[in-house]
Amino acid sequence: MITSTDAMNEQERQPPGIKLTAQQLRARRERSIAIALALGAFVLLIFAVTMVRLGSGALSLSGDDYMRPVQTTK
């Protein structure tokens, strides 16, 4: 059975969290910005190719073509 005292002792034994040096912090920030920019560029890329591939068809989906009733034969 774990008592509250045991749990406190356990907590005290935990090493303090990793302290980043100024250089490590700077490098992490630099990498984070680069990843954000790369992700943004990737999203734009997919958007641009979608526009090129579907062209005006992408827009007409929400317009006439989409709303036109399905033709049925008697």
Partner 1 sequence: MSITLARVEPSIAGVGDYIELMKPRVMSLVVFTALVGLVVAPGHVHPVIGLVALLCITVGAGAAGALNMWYDADIDARMARTAARPIPRGRITPGEAAGFGFTLAAFAVVTLGLLVNVLAAALLAFTIFFYVAIYTVWLKRSTPHNIVIGGAAGALPPMIGWAAATGSLAVEPVLLFLIIFFWTPPHFWALSLYRCEDYARAGIPMLPVVAGEDETRRQILRYALILAPLGVAPWLLGYAGPAYGAAALPIGGVLIALALRVRNERDGHRASKQLFGFSILYLFLLFAMLLIDGRPGGLFGHFA
Q: Considering the rule CB under 8 A, would residue 22 count as an interface residue with partner 1? A: no
CB of 10 to partner 1, least distance (A): 13
CB of 41 to partner 1, least distance (A): 9
In sequence order, what DSSP letters do the residues of 9-68 get, joined into one string?
HHHHHSPPPPPPPHHHHHHHHHHHHHHHHHHHHHHHHHHHHHHHHHTTHHHHTTSHHHHS
Q: Which region, judged by CB under 8 A, interacts with partner 1, from 6-14, 20-28, 61-69? A: 20-28
Q: Which region, judged by CB under 8 A, interacts with partner 1, from 3-11, 15-23, 62-70? A: 15-23
